Amino acid sequence: MAGLNLTGIEGKVAVVTGAGRMKSIGRSIAVELAKAGADVVITGTGRPPERYPDDEKAAGWRDIASVAEEIEAEGRRALPLVSDSGDENSVQELLDATLAEFGRVDFVVNNAGAARGPDRVPVVDMPIDAWDTVIRVNLRGPFLMSKVFGQQLIDAGNGGVIINISSIAGKVLGPNMAAYVASKAGLQGMTGGMAREIGKHGVRVNAICPGLVDTSRMADVFDDPDFAARASMIPIGRAGLGEDIGWATVYLCSDQGSWITGQSINVCGGNAVAH
């Protein structure tokens, strides 16, 4: 008896923002979509090599160019582009380039996220520009991507899927994270609202809310001597991998996920319910 076979991704075109880091959620999402049969547009910020972490330098990593090679190794086409999802003109250029290369777009994954920085302080101590940066990347960016690409999905008339990469932080509300929490909670709200607006066009909108995932941006957390105690609070007993988020993304894009929309789904090893 045959088991579950995910369908509806082969030959489709996906756009994944923020996919250039070697140890990242975005890279895993892009590669897993390629393995499932999609051609993939990947974006990055155009980081100069001197800003690469040591593991990327040692591996000869080349940001989105390296991810493009991985996609092509799966037999799919890749289009790596430097893009700023917080800028409306840049987003329109991204759509234009996608259509020029592939003639269509089916899946949009809003993954680009702001780096942790001066926003990780109490609200009363937070620099206003730190707040603005987080909101611009984590909420304005997905809004612009959803607005511009969502209209394209409506106009094309073939349905489609928008997935916003949020966080369980938008639900569990940790201290010294107000800007991040607000951006991720806002992203969940936008997901539900847009799903109601656009569902009649056959377009589904969902958010994935990762917990603690082992990525380069979280390296300091994983290197902390207290990390083992923190990880022990996760019911599954381990931190997440980028592939965990990639697999969830593939399912939500597939035909088998076609009755799921407007949801903010925790993919966190049970961490959210352990708080």
User: In whole angstroms, what is the distance from residue 222 CA to residue 242 CA?
Assistant: 15
CA atoms within 13 A on the CB side of 50: 0
* Catalytic annotation present for 52: no
Listed residue (149, 46, 37) closest to 97, CA to CA? 149
User: In whole angstroms, what is the distance from residue 94 CA to residue 80 CA?
Assistant: 10
Rg (CA), the chain: 18
Question: Edge to edge, what strands does the sheet with 39-44 contain?
Answer: 78-82, 39-44, 13-16, 107-110, 160-165, 203-210, 264-267
Length of the chain: 275
User: In whole angstroms, what is the distance from residue 169 CA to residue 181 CA?
Assistant: 6
User: In whole angstroms, what is the distance from residue 111 CA to residue 79 CA?
Assistant: 16
Tokens at 8, concatenated: 């509806």
Amino acid at 238: R
Residue reference for tokens 């960016």: 141
User: In whole angstroms, what is the distance from residue 114 CA to residue 18 CA?
Assistant: 10
Pick the catalytic residue: 106, 180, 185, 271? Answer: 180
Sorted by sequence, the CB contacts under 8 Å of residue 269 that are 6+ apart come out as 211, 212, 234, 235, 236, 237, 238, 239, 240
**Active-site residue numbers?**
180
